Copies of this chain bind each other. A is one copy, B any other.
Amino acid sequence: MTDVQTRKLTRIQREKREVILQAALNAFSVHGLRGATLEKIAVEAGMSKPHVVYYFGSKDAIYTELLESLLEIWLSPLRDISPQGDPLAEILTYVRRKLRMSQEMPRESKLFATEILHGAPRTGASLSGDLKELVDEKADVISRWSAEGRLARIDPHHLIFSIWAMTQHYADFDVQVRAVLGAPDDAALFSDADAFLTDFFVRALRPTAT
């Protein structure tokens, strides 16, 4: 390992790495790992191809670094679900934060989507390890809420899947969504989606009166 990655970084080095990571995120999120080229990343980052390699060692290393550095942010809304909060409010907040992330971080959403779609060769261990642990923990919380009658009886794991699916759909398949809706502006689209999802989950999750 002779790349700059393994040593202490100066401010300028950190900034350069950040520029490269942003350019790489643009490329990878649209074309995938194989489809994106070092050349395209270098041009967008405003430096030469060897210079990009100099900072990360390889194209693969940039991709892996992106995935790892974004994972915590990506999972934070789920992590923040609190057992002490109001059940319906906690879940609605989670849904809304995930939807807002689809609006504000569509590239990150697509990056994870392609990675998992292609079999998660770099993230497989993390999925069945840390992610499973986190989801199981929150699923337990939701189960308890259901058992206490504070939430409709519902399979907590599949509920979490449904939230992932519905919110990330607006980022991952935005081309299709916008084509079908006739290219609405961003604000209108996500405002409608927020209203829809809120209403949808309230109906599905409000405990039925006994």
CA distance A121 to B189 in the complex (A): 22
CA distance A124 to B42 in the complex (A): 28
Chain B min CB distance to A123 (Å): 9
Selecting from A5-13, A48-56, A59-67, A126-134, the interface stretch reads: A126-134
Checking B34, B132, B176, B177 against A35 with a beta-carbon cut-off of 8 angstroms, the contacting residue is B34
Checking B116, B157, B179, B200 against A173 with a beta-carbon cut-off of 8 angstroms, the contacting residue is B116
Checking B30, B120, B180, B193 against A176 with a beta-carbon cut-off of 8 angstroms, the contacting residue is B120
A interface: dominant SS: helix
Q: Which 5 A-B pairs have the closest CB atoms?
A: A165-B169, A127-B179, A158-B196, A128-B179, A34-B34
A→B interface (CB under 8 Å):
30-35, 110, 113-114, 116-120, 124, 127-128, 131-132, 135-136, 152, 154-155, 157-159, 161-162, 164-166, 168-170, 172-173, 175-177, 179-183, 192-193, 195-197, 199-200, 203-204
